[in-house]
């Protein structure tokens, strides 16, 4: 039975990863608009009509807050390290290779490294990530490089380089 579960998870993972990869490729072919926002293959962190970001810093920690308008969808980056997150307000559905799960505020969650997620906001929702910031930098490019990869290929390169 364990072999069957492993095969099923492998199929789901490959299928989810290929769907996300194709979706991202299709999205990047379009200009940003009032229904699609992207950062040309980099992590989105600037405000747009669907998502508002707030960046805060404290000793060894980088806090990235994301306010999502009702009906918006975010395809997340792949995190390099485990981290904690909070749903401060709202109701979201998170889909990943692990399946689909609904969360309602207030909620404290833990994210595993290597998992990519798609988040749908059923109502205005405030999502807070808590990341390591060992150098104390406020440079968002350096923080993104330290904490996330934008696609599965980059994540595999990161893991193989460790």
The pLDDT of residue 42: 53
Q: What is the pTM of this model?
A: 0.79
Q: How confident is the model at residue 8 (pLDDT cuts 50, 70, 90)?
A: very low
The pLDDT of residue 134: 96
Alpha-carbon dihedral sign for residues 28, 44, 94, 161: positive
Specify which of 3-17, 36-50, 132-146 reaches the highest per-range mean pLDDT.
Answer: 132-146
3 state SS of 152: helix
CATH number 2.60.120.10 is the correct assignment for the domain at 43-161:
yes
On the question of pLDDT at 123 being above 80, the answer is: yes
**How many C-beta atoms surround the C-beta of residue 9 within 10 A?**
12
The C-alpha atoms of residue 51 and residue 124 are separated, in whole angstroms, by 10
pLDDT in tens, 16-68: 777 767 766 666 676 655 555 544 555 666 778 889 999 999 999 999 999 99
Alpha-carbon Rg for the chain in angstroms: 16
Q: Is 114 in contact with 76 (CB distance < 8 Å)?
A: no
The C-alpha atoms of residue 58 and residue 70 are separated, in whole angstroms, by 30
The C-alpha atoms of residue 65 and residue 76 are separated, in whole angstroms, by 13
Residue 25 phi, psi dihedral angles, 5° rounding: -60, -45
Nearest to 20 by CA among 160, 149, 159, 126: 149
- Longest distance between any two alpha carbons in the chain, whole Å: 48
pLDDT in tens, 64-114: 999 999 998 888 889 999 999 999 999 999 988 888 899 999 999 999 999
Structure tokens at 102: 């609904």
Q: How confident is the model at residue 124 (pLDDT cuts 50, 70, 90)?
A: very high
Complete DSSP assignment for 26-95: HHHTSPP-SS---BTTB---S--SSEEEEEEEETTEEEEEEEE-TT-EEEPPEESS-EEEEEEESEEEEE
Q: Where are the domains of the chain?
A: 43-161
């Amino acid at each position: 039975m364990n072999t069957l579960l492993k095969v099923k998870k492998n199929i789901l993972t490959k299928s989810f990863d290929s769907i996300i990869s194709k979706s991202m490729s299709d999205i990047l072919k379009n200009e940003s608009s009032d229904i699609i926002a992207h950062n040309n293959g980099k992590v989105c962190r600037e405000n747009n009509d669907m998502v508002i970001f707030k960046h805060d810093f404290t000793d060894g920690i980088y806090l990235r807050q994301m306010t999502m308008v009702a009906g918006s969808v975010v395809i997340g980056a792949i995190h390099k390290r485990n981290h904690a997150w909070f749903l401060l307000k709202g109701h979201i559905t998170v889909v990943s290779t692990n399946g689909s799960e609904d969360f309602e505020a207030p909620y404290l969650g833990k994210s595993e490294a290597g998992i990519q997620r798609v988040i749908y906001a059923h109502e205005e929702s405030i999502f807070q990530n808590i990341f390591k910031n060992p150098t104390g930098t406020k440079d968002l490019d350096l923080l993104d490089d330290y904490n996330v990869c934008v696609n599965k290929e980059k994540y595999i390169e990161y893991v193989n380089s460790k």
